[in-house]
């Protein structure tokens, strides 16, 4: 396909940081008496990754009142960013060489539903800044992912692009933005409708 650019989701598409996110959140949650006995499992985290952070808090901590939930979420985001900046996550196979080849052919972007600073943890910890032209975290403006895809395309004057992601929310965001959706079938989600599907990140090279 003839694209000017590719936009990427982060979790379940470029990396799997689940284990380190759990370590960070366990550390953060230990400071709240309201969450004594609470256990965060990989399954629970996989079930919410890709959602905006406020929705994640509502799903994981439904019994907390809004004021406590806000404090919990703020602390989790702070500790997570610090931890991931140092420790990073698990990159999917052939990611670095794929991004290197792609970045020589087109512009690359990341649009994530993570908190402010989240995409930067990936770029910092794995030396990925050189591959990407622009990024957008949900936490920077609290705008839905589809709108943020459009925002990134508009400010970079991109007309023809595709979004690579692994969840139904990613597919919906691409549809809202009016661009093709490439389903990362190796990720966390299950998507019924997509324009293309890949079983590993390097297969994007075959599409372009």
CATH number at residue 59: 1.10.150
**Residue 40's pLDDT band (cuts 50, 70, 90):** confident
Predicted confidence at residue 173, as pLDDT, reads 97
Instruction: Name the nearest CA neighbour of 170 among 160, 182, 152.
Output: 182
Token readout for 188 is: 């966390």
Report pLDDT digits (tens) over 154-189: 999 999 999 999 999 999 999 999 999 999 999 999
What span, in angstroms and rounded, lies between the C-alpha atoms of 111 and 151? Answer: 10
How far apart (Å, rounded) are the C-alpha atoms in residues 146 and 15?
A: 21
Does 77 score more than 70 pLDDT? yes
Judgement on whether residues 193 and 105 belong to the same structural domain of the protein:
yes
Q: How many structural domains is the chain composed of? A: 2
d(CA 178, CA 146): 9
Of the three residues 63, 87, 111, the one that is the final residue of a domain is 87
pLDDT tens for 43-70 read 888 888 778 878 888 999 888 999 998 8
Q: Are residues 26 and 60 in the same domain?
A: yes
pLDDT of residue 43: 85
**Per-residue three-class SS string for 65-129:** CHHHHHHHHHHHHHHHHHHHHHHCCEECCCHHHHHHHHHCCCEEEEEECCCCCHHHHHHHHCCCH
Mean local confidence (pLDDT), 198-208: 96
Residue 201 has pLDDT above 80, yes or no: yes
pLDDT at 138: 94
Q: Which residue has the tokens 């992912």?
A: 145
For residue 160, the domain's CATH number is 3.40.50.1000
Prediction pTM value: 0.91
Q: Are residues 203 and 110 in the same domain?
A: yes
Q: Which of 70, 87, 104 is the last residue of a domain?
A: 87
* 102 shares a domain with 177: yes
Higher pLDDT pick, 205 / 52? 205
pLDDT digits (tens, 9 = 90+) for 110-153: 999 999 999 999 999 999 999 999 999 999 999 999 999 999 99
Strands laid side by side in the 134-137 sheet: 134-137, 107-112, 5-8, 161-165, 180-184, 196-198
Q: 141 lies in which domain range?
A: 5-16+91-207
Domain match, 32 and 12 both: no
DSSP-derived 3-state class of residue 28: helix
Q: Per-residue b/e over 146-174, b at no fewer than 16 CB within 10 Å?
A: bbbbbbbbeeeebeebbbbbbbbbbbbbb
Whether 41 has a pLDDT exceeding 90, the answer reads: no
The domain boundary, picked from 53, 87, 121, lies at: 87
82 and 107 inside one domain: no
Q: How confident is the model at residue 1 (pLDDT cuts 50, 70, 90)?
A: low
Please check whether residues 181 and 155 belong to one and the same domain.
yes
Per-residue pLDDT of 5-35, as tens digits, reads 999 999 999 999 999 999 999 899 888 988 8
| Residue range 83-103: mean pLDDT, rounded | 98
Query: Shortest CA distance to 204 belongs to which of 11, 5, 46?
Result: 5
- 181 with 195, same domain: the answer is yes
Do 26 and 66 lie in a common domain?
Answer: yes
């Amino acid at each position: 396909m003839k694209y000017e650019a590719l936009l990427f989701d982060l979790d379940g598409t470029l990396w799997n940081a689940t284990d380190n996110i759990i370590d960070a959140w366990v550390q953060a949650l230990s400071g709240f008496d309201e969450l004594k006995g609470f256990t965060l499992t990989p399954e629970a985290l996989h079930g919410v990754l890709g959602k905006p952070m406020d929705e994640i808090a509502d799903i994981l901590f439904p019994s907390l009142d809004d004021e406590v939930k806000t404090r919990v979420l703020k602390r989790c985001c702070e500790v997570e960013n610090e931890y991931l900046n140092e420790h990073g996550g698990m990159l999917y196979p052939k990611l670095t060489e794929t991004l290197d080849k792609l970045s020589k052919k087109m512009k690359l972007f990341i649009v994530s539903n993570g908190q402010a600073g989240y995409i930067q943890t990936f770029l910092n910890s794995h030396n990925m800044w050189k591959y990407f032209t622009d990024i957008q975290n949900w936490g920077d403006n609290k705008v839905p992912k589809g709108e943020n895809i459009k925002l990134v395309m508009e400010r970079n004057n991109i007309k023809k692009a595709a979004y690579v992601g692994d969840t139904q929310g990613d597919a919906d965001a691409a549809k809202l933005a009016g661009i093709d959706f490439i389903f990362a079938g190796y990720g966390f989600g299950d998507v019924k409708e997509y324009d293309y599907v890949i079983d590993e990140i390097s297969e994007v090279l075959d599409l372009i």
